[in-house]
């Protein structure tokens, strides 16, 4: 399962310095499935951050 396209819309519309919360289990499922979740994997966090920055930059 990957992050829904609606999440990109949310990230594009939010002003800078405003964030969107995603629970750990969804971050793992969307960005790094199978990497473990206790705690959330560094791979999932890095992929989520990268996508958020990319989408926010594209929306500017």
| Residue pLDDT, tens place only, 2-57 | 788 888 888 888 887 887 888 888 888 888 887 877 788 888 889 888 887 877 66
Quote the pLDDT of residue 36.
72
Quote the pLDDT of residue 15.
84
Are residues 12 and 24 in contact, defined by beta-carbon separation less than 8 angstroms? no
Question: How many other C-beta atoms lie within 10 A of the C-beta of residue 47?
Answer: 17
């Amino acid at each position: 399962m990957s992050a829904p396209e609606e999440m990109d819309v949310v990230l594009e519309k939010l002003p800078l310095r405003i964030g969107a919360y995603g629970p750990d289990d969804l971050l793992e499922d969307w960005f790094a499935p199978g990497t473990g979740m206790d705690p959330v994997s560094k791979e999932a966090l890095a992929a989520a951050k990268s996508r958020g920055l990319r989408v926010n930059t594209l929306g500017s």
